[in-house]
Amino acid sequence: MHSRTADTDPADTQDGPHTAAPWWTTAVVYQVYPRSFADSNGDGVGDLGGVRGKLGYLAELGVDAIWLSPVYPSPQHDNGYDIRDYQDIDPVFGSLAEFDLLLAEAHELGIKIVMDLVVNHTSDEHPWFVESRSSIDNPKRDWYWWRRPGAAGAEPNGWGSAFSGPAWTLDETTGEYYLHLFATQQPDLNWENPEVRQAVYSMMNWWLDRGVDGFRMDVINFIAKQVELVSGPAAATGGGSPMGAQIHEYLQEMHRAVFAGRTGEHLTVGEMPGVSIQDAVLFTDSARAEVDMIFQFEHVSLDQGTHKFDPLPRSLVPLKQSLARWQVGLAETGWNSLYLNNHDQPRLVSRFGNDTEFRYESATLWALVLHLHRGTPYIYQGEEIGMTNVTFDTIDHYRDIESLNHYREAVEQFDQSPASVLAGVHAMGRDNARTPMQWDDSAHAGFSTGTPWLAANPNFPRINVATDRAAARSVFAFYQRLIELRHTDPVVALGAFELIEPDHEHLYAFTRILDGVTLLVLANVSDAPLTVQGEWLPDDISGAELLLGNYPGDGSAALRPWEARLYRL
């Protein structure tokens, strides 16, 4: 139903069609964070049964694929991103048999299933690591990064963990340090070892043979390390990205071993913190056979000060200029992924919009703006009804390891005010995205009949799927229309992008052009009316076709607060 193929190449813009574009140029992906999506058995944790029960909802929304966050067996130190077994389902989520049912039922509805691939690191309970740490001469010792202590027992280098503290932990059994760029329970795999790579490729083939439709690859650029720095002195690291140049070799090898020669439509998207546009062109150039698209982080790092939990005031100009640079940079070669929300980011309507007075307007404005960029849009669960950030009273209500470690370190080690640290968690913490999906106004937002693993946002009686879908102004209905446009209008999928008024502090405007057809997006990113003027604007847009807007009526020269319009000129 959704696996349509466009008639033009993604590298085409104004020159007209000549070859078939990949299916994902007209696709929209929906991310499900299973733990928080829907609980089918009342244990307080979302599960595969819950996802199966909502497939009809997702089909009605119109999405083409589900990106399923990890459901593998895990000790859950990082909510499933610490994997104990790559080829099974954690009992808290269900079973392989139930996964197969989910896969079959999704496919019947024309929806693909994309698995989360987490192979930079495993759980420290994975059999590979249990063997590796058992002795220095174990055959799997070299499957992970082990180094002897430095002078006076110091860590091998000065790298820090993304979750606070050093990236090295001393193992008492063998007297050596192991590397973990994330939690201490997430040791990094050593991709320099070909046995590691072949084991990963074998696992990926196992899932594809089972019927899955591709992979979202967690921090995949980190699998290649700057080997000379791993055991180098602290001064040599500089605190920069650990990514090594071997990454292209690894991804091309992965493609040959896993995807080359396979029939069907698969999707590969690599999460790649710290990469440049030039890097992205190489990664997503179809001729190089690496990945279809990447998640980059430039635009979601602009409102961070000295660290992630130091939020800066919203500023439109750097945000739209950043997104535009990526549009231009990947216009001729490669492809963009489009997102403002995911399981690691605050809710977009709270972060980039006004989640009180203009919640509907700002939620739909950002939906229109994002989906009218060139690339594949990703919707994060709850985004399609305008879910907001949560403000829990104390740190005790939070569950995210990153937020908890940051709070403890800032308060206990650096003597910062608990209230100020908590304010940073309120604004930027990952649990903002992980509170249970708000289905209705019943207990726990209709997520579970039991006590949820993480409390629902207290605003669920007002903001929920049932209420939104019954409303005259429905965020869900607005997303439906955007998805339909991408499926049916070649300009939305493939048109050339040009930013208008890049320095305007409140106007987000751009055109998309293909085969002489022009679409114009006008968006007022502010709480006040905005008069739209400029040499680039037709003298009278009243004669243009208004394809979509988030206010009633056909509009006028003045944009109302958080108003967004899409015209066909």
Helix-helix angle 316-329:277-284, to 10 degrees: 40
Q: Is 527 a catalytic residue?
A: no
Q: What is the C-alpha separation between 349 and 340, in angstroms, rounded?
A: 9
- Which tokens hold the place of 97? 């048999």
Q: What is the C-alpha separation between 569 and 551, in angstroms, rounded?
A: 19
Kindly report the CA angle at 558 between 555 and 560, in degrees rounded to 5? 80
Please state the three-class secondary structure of 154-175 as a single string. CCCCCCECCCCCECEEEECCCC
- Which tokens hold the place of 99? 């996964």
Residue 512 forms beta bridges with which residues? 497, 519
Q: At 509, which helix (H) or strand (E)?
A: strand 507-514
Residues 6+ apart with CB under 8 A from 442: none
- Which tokens hold the place of 555? 């509009």
Q: What is the C-alpha separation between 192 and 216, in angstroms, rounded?
A: 22
Q: Which of 48, 45, 66, 50 is nearest to 2 (CA)?
A: 66
74 near 90, Cβ under 8 Å? yes
**Within 10 A of 21 (CB to CB), how many other CB atoms are there?**
20
> Burial, 396: exposed, middle or buried (Cβ in 10 Å; 0-12, 13-18, 19+)?
exposed
Question: Tokens 């973990």 map to which residue?
Answer: 180
Q: Which of 47, 82, 213, 218 is catalytic?
A: 218
Q: Which of 116, 271, 361, 468 is catalytic?
A: 271
Residues 6+ apart with CB under 8 A from 200: 119, 189, 254
Q: Is 292 a catalytic residue?
A: no
Kindly report the CA angle at 281 between 279 and 286, in degrees rounded to 5? 130
Q: What is the C-alpha separation between 338 and 497, in angstroms, rounded?
A: 14
453 near 42, Cβ under 8 Å? no
Q: Which residues are the active-site residues?
A: 218, 271
